[in-house]
Structure 1
């Protein structure tokens, strides 16, 4: 199956962002809905992706070789939390300010305030929430449900290499 330039670029996004969801690809690709993303995946990239047990979108090994893009997550040898991730800049900033594994977990608002203080940025709270959930799907953030969901790193910051993707 020969892919168009657009399909190859989008396949590279799947490889880079995996594990991911329709909504994340919808935002990246500028599509109107998650169902439009699903249709595109099925029609154009059907041989190169699959959904895991949690219905998250992942690229096949063949896809990763085809686009020559490093996967968004590299697992450690013992298949624990990943040792390396490629994420958008906001998620990299979240990793740098988020409470560590032994610390008290933080709410979305607390993380937002930490980001504002550390980086002089003002992201929307929904963007912070989305970034935390994406990092959770990558197994580098744990969630603790109290009055509101709270988050902390699942891995020691020193044991995680974070690369910012474009």
Structure 2
């Protein structure tokens, strides 16, 4: 199957963001709905992606070989635990830097937002922070604790994970 330039670029996004969801691809691709993402995946990239047991979108090994992009989870540790290395956008990397560690009290999205503003002089909106936390959660780097609101903390010691910033 020969891919158009757009399809190749979008396949690279799937490889980079995996494991991912329709909503994350919708945002990246500027589409109107998750249904559009699903339709595009099925029609254009059907043989290069699959959904795992948790319905998360992952690229096939062939897809990763086809595009020159590092997968989002570079090294899964092999034991089913958290990865030892991930490749994420800059905001996600900043979240890893400021988020409470595994032995600390988990933080709300707003608390993480305040820490990001203080540490990096950035001003993302709360939805961008929430999205970053959920993406890191899907990569098994962040865990959630449900209190009055969902709160987050690292699932792995900062020293045990290498974070590469993607473009």
Q: TM-score range by the shorter chain?
A: over 0.9
Q: Find runs of 4+ consecutive structure 1 residues off by over 3 angstroms.
A: none
- 2:131 is aligned with 1:130: yes
Q: Which residue of 1 aligns with 2:141?
A: 140
CA RMSD of aligned residues (A): 0.8
How many equivalent residue pairs? 166
> What's the CA shift for 1:68?
2.6
| SS of alignment partner, residue 16 of structure 1 | helix
TM-score (normalizing by structure 1): 0.98
Q: Which residue of 2 aligns with 1:31?
A: 31
> What's the CA shift for 1:120?
0.7
Q: Which structure 2 residues correspond to residues 46-85 of structure 1 after superposition, within 5 A?
A: 46-73=46-73, 74-85=75-86
> What's the CA shift for 1:88?
1.0
Q: Deviations over 1:3-54 (max 9, x none)?
A: 1111111101000000000111111111111111111000000000000111
| SS of alignment partner, residue 85 of structure 1 | strand
| SS of alignment partner, residue 123 of structure 1 | coil
Q: Which structure 2 residues correspond to residues 81-120 of structure 1 after superposition, within 5 A?
A: 81-120=82-121
> What's the CA shift for 1:79?
2.7
Residues in 1 aligned to 2:79 and 2:53: alpha-carbon distance in whole angstroms: 20
> What's the CA shift for 1:78?
2.1
TM-score (normalizing by structure 2): 0.97
> What's the CA shift for 1:159?
0.9
